[in-house]
C-alpha cells in the first residue's frame, strides 16, 4: 500500500527522477556555453518539481543544481568560474546555492497561489519565475564580485558587462525555453497521472 502524504512513494519516486535529471543535465550536457556563462536547461526539472510537488521540492532541486554548479566552479569549468572562485569564494558559493534554491521555492509558491484561479496561467508564471529569479540573483552576486567581473569586463563598465556580456542573451533564451517546454512537460505529467488514477 502506498503511503499517503509528503513522503509517499509517488512523491519520492518523482523527486528521485527529477533530482537525477537535475544532476545529469547540469553535470553532463544540460548546458551550452555562450560567452562566459552557461545556458542552463537544468531549470526545467526545477520548475517541474516546484509545480508538481511544491515549493520545498522546487527549493530542494534548486539547491541540488546549485551544489553541482558550485562543484563545476571549484574545478574550474570555465575561465570565468576559475576567476570568481579564486577571487570571491564565499560570494561565489552563496550565489551558486541561493539563486536556484530561491528560484525553485518562489516558483512553487507562485504556482500554489495562482493554481486555483487559473492552472494554465499558474504554470506559465511558475515557469517564468525560475529563470527571472535565477538571473536576478546571479546579477546581485556578480555585483559583489566586482574585482572578478572588472577583470573580465576588460575596460567596460562592470554593470554593462554583467547585463550585456553575461546575462541578456542567456536570460532570454532560458526564459523562452522554460515557457515553451515546462508547461508542455507538465501537461504530459498530468495526463500520465490521470491515466494511473483511472487504473
- Dump pLDDT digits (tens) for 8-47: 777 888 889 999 999 998 887 655 665 555 566 788 999 9
Q: Work out how many domains the chain is built from and give that number.
A: 1
Which pLDDT value is given to residue 64?
96
In a domain, 154, yes or no: yes
In a domain, 157, yes or no: yes
Position with higher pLDDT, 25 vs 97? 97
Q: Are 23 and 12 in contact (CB under 8 A)?
A: no
**Ramachandran bin of 174, using left for φ above 0, alpha for ψ from -120 to 50, beta for the remaining angles:** alpha
In a domain, 4, yes or no: no
Answer yes or no: is pLDDT of 2 > 50.
no
Residues 128-162 have pLDDT tens digits of: 999 999 999 988 998 888 777 777 767 677 677 77
State which residues form the domain around 176. 9-198
In a domain, 3, yes or no: no
| CATH number of the domain bearing residue 22 | 1.10.1760.20
Which pLDDT value is given to residue 199?
46
Instruction: Work out the pLDDT band at 3, boundaries 50, 70, 90.
Output: very low
In a domain, 153, yes or no: yes
In a domain, 183, yes or no: yes
Instruction: Work out the pLDDT band at 58, boundaries 50, 70, 90.
Output: very high
SS3 content of the chain, % helix, strand, coil (to 5): 80, 5, 15
In a domain, 126, yes or no: yes
In a domain, 1, yes or no: no
Mean pLDDT of the chain: 82
Instruction: Work out the pLDDT band at 67, boundaries 50, 70, 90.
Output: very high
Position with higher pLDDT, 91 vs 26? 91
Amino acid at each position: 500500500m502506498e503511503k499517503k502524504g509528503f513522503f509517499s512513494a509517488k512523491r519520492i519516486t518523482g523527486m528521485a527522477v527529477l533530482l537525477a535529471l537535475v544532476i545529469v543535465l547540469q553535470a553532463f550536457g544540460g548546458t551550452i556555453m555562450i560567452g562566459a556563462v552557461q545556458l542552463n536547461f537544468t531549470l526545467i526539472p526545477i520548475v517541474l518539481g516546484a509545480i508538481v510537488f511544491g515549493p520545498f521540492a522546487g527549493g530542494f532541486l534548486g539547491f541540488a543544481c546549485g551544489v553541482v554548479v558550485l562543484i563545476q566552479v571549484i574545478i574550474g569549468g570555465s575561465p570565468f568560474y576559475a576567476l570568481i572562485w579564486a577571487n570571491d569564494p564565499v560570494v561565489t558559493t552563496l550565489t551558486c546555492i541561493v539563486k536556484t534554491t530561491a528560484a525553485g521555492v518562489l516558483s512553487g509558491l507562485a504556482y500554489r497561489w495562482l493554481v486555483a484561479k487559473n492552472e494554465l496561467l499558474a504554470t506559465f508564471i511558475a515557469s517564468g519565475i525560475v529563470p527571472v529569479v535565477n538571473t536576478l540573483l546571479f546579477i546581485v552576486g556578480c555585483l559583489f564580485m566586482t574585482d572578478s567581473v572588472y577583470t573580465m569586463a576588460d575596460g567596460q563598465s562592470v554593470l554593462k558587462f554583467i547585463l550585456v556580456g553575461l546575462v541578456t542573451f542567456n536570460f532570454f533564451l532560458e526564459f523562452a525555453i522554460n515557457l515553451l517546454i515546462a508547461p508542455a512537460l507538465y501537461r504530459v505529467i498530468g495526463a500520465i497521472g490521470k491515466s494511473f488514477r483511472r487504473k
